[in-house]
Amino acid sequence: MPTPPSPGYALVTGASSGIGADIAREYARRGKPLVLTARRVERLEALAAELSAQVPCVVIATDLADPAAPAKLFAETQARGLFVDTLVNNAGYGVPGRYLSADWKTHADSLQVLLTSVAHLTHLYLPAMEAAGRGRILNVASLAGLVPPTAGHTLYGATKAWLIRFSETLDQESRPRGVHVTALCPGMTYTEFHDVNGMREKVSKLPKGIWLSSADVARLGVDAVESGRTRLVTGRANKLIAGLSKYLPDRLARALLASKSKDFRDAD
């Protein structure tokens, strides 16, 4: 295999806003060329225009709810001769309400974005990283994957728990071959996420001390994967919540979280 170009590109999914856009900014600040992908091409182009003075930026519009999208994205980067040595699986969203309040197509699309596309993209890009003996995969999970379940947003916490375990297992497999895999687990973060799922009014009532900016989360996440940390929970308050969830008796932890869940979960 020919020696891959250096430095390689960082491919960031869901790069049009929020944590994804700020991860792109953080990598640009560090001099890392970028492949930016999401559905909203106008936003991607605006971000590329912002960052192109710092690093080369390639925009590829992709809807990861389409099962064919990962293979098409991979084929496009291959056709352009781009060696992706950093994969950021960030794209995602929550479906509010109880499980039966949404139709199956809505749930199927969310699973495709949150779970299947992550596994597929990783399977496509990891071989070249291992062959080159270097690579980084940053999977944006959530504190929701580490705490007891609550009613509402039924699939979100479950898929994030899967993503954390997937990341940890993959890191053990690939670290000896020079590839670090990190599960980034933010708690409440100032992004459009809660506007999209209609929860902004509810979550705005939560204490200000548990929130972080998406720029801070992005910086911490990039630091974590570059230094080889397998899992990172961002923010002291979130670390405390994750710790209590782990060490409190399961029944008590579920009861405590359920009593507060109405502040950040729509279960209707």
pLDDT band at 197 (very low <50, low <70, confident <90, very high): very low
Across the chain, mean pLDDT equals 88
pLDDT of 191 higher than 90: no
Are the C-beta atoms of 7 and 32 separated by less than 8 Å? yes
Q: Which residues are catalytic?
A: 156
**Of 178, 168, 24, 157, whose CA–CA distance to 88 is shortest?**
24
> pLDDT band at residue 201, thresholds of 50, 70 and 90?
very low
Q: What confidence score (pLDDT) does residue 126 get?
A: 98
For position 263, what pLDDT does the model report?
56
- Alpha-carbon distances of 4 from 7, 129, 205, rounded to whole Å: 9, 9, 49
Give all domains of the chain, ordered by start, each with its CATH number.
Answer: 9-263 (3.40.50.720)
Q: CA-to-CA distance for 144 and 152, rounded, in angstroms?
A: 12
Q: What local confidence, expressed as pLDDT, does residue 161 receive?
A: 96
Average pLDDT over residues 224-247: 87
Work out the pLDDT band at 195, boundaries 50, 70, 90: very low
Kindly provide the residue ranges of all beta strands, DSSP E only, lying in the chain, ordered along the sequence.
Answer: 9-13, 34-37, 57-59, 84-89, 135-140, 179-185, 189-190, 212-213, 231-233
